[in-house]
Amino acid sequence: MPSAWTKIADTAIGGLTEVGFIPGSSLLLVVSHQGRGIIDLLSGNRIARDRRETGSWFDAASLAALGIGPAAGRWIQVAGLADGMLPVTTADGWRARQTPQGVVLSGPAEEIMAVREPEEIRVFGFSPDGQSFIVASSPRLMIFRRDGRDCKLRRRRCSLSAAGLAGAGGQPGHRRGDKAGVLDSAACVIGAVEGCRLVFRSARKP
């Protein structure tokens, strides 16, 4: 397993059916035949639990479940047994695909991580910020996370490059985005690093 990813938790959750990332947080909503739970993606700990197995809290048509605990009153998009899927790529080049043995992650520098799961996989995918990865099967939930320090270092290097390009006539700005590309000085120079896109707009040649 490459050092980029660390297994945070491998938790038994019998009858797991769906999961959903709670927007604006590091929390995951888990739906099972035993009710709902909230899992902290940073620690793997369960921080809220509701054992009601049925009720109006699940909307199969819109693939949403009503949150509990810190997400109480919020409808959260979920994916799993009822349908839907989680993101299988990140902005900086990680990809996930299912195999007969489980799930394989491929990194931008040809890193490979194999996650073995002999049980039926309900859903797998990356968190919206690309820093967490989960594999949810019928009996358990696996959570992986990568260190954000490398992201910060690369953003710093990108900022230094921005300063150099700005001195040459470009005007740096920041936007969220995906893979890097470099155009000529008459267009935009785009550098994507760990989900951060630096955009330098230079004046077009007359």
- Tens-digit pLDDT profile for residues 145-156: 997 654 554 445
Q: Residue 149: its pLDDT value, please?
A: 57
Q: Residue 180: its pLDDT value, please?
A: 37
d(CA 1, CA 65): 33
Task: Tell how strand 188-193 and strand 196-201 pair up.
Answer: antiparallel
Average pLDDT rounded to a whole number, residues 160-174: 46
Q: Residue 54: its pLDDT value, please?
A: 78
Residue type, 200: F
Average pLDDT rounded to a whole number, residues 102-126: 96
Q: Residue 186: its pLDDT value, please?
A: 27
Q: Does the structure show a pLDDT above 80 at 30?
A: yes
Position with higher pLDDT, 53 vs 138: 138
d(CA 204, CA 178): 24
Q: Residue 155: its pLDDT value, please?
A: 47
What's the sign of the alpha-carbon dihedral 96, 94, 145, 39?
negative
| Neighbour count for residue 69 (Cβ, 10 Å) | 16
Average pLDDT rounded to a whole number, residues 148-175: 47
Position with higher pLDDT, 154 vs 6: 6
| Neighbour count for residue 85 (Cβ, 10 Å) | 11
Q: Does the structure show a pLDDT above 60 at 115?
A: yes
The token pair at 168 is 């040459």
Q: Place 2 in a pLDDT band, splitting at 50, 70 and 90.
A: very low
Provide the percentage of residues in the chain whose pLDDT is more than 70.
70
Average pLDDT rounded to a whole number, residues 138-151: 84
Q: Give the helix ranges, DSSP H, for the chain.
A: 149-167
| Residue of 176, 166, 173 lying closest to 197 (CA atoms) | 176
d(CA 194, CA 92): 5
Mean pLDDT of the residues in the chain: 79
Q: Does the structure show a pLDDT above 60 at 167?
A: no
Average pLDDT rounded to a whole number, residues 128-146: 97
Contact between residue 28 and residue 42 where contact means Cβ atoms under 8 Å apart: no
Q: Residue 198: its pLDDT value, please?
A: 30
The residue written with tokens 């001195």 in the block is 167
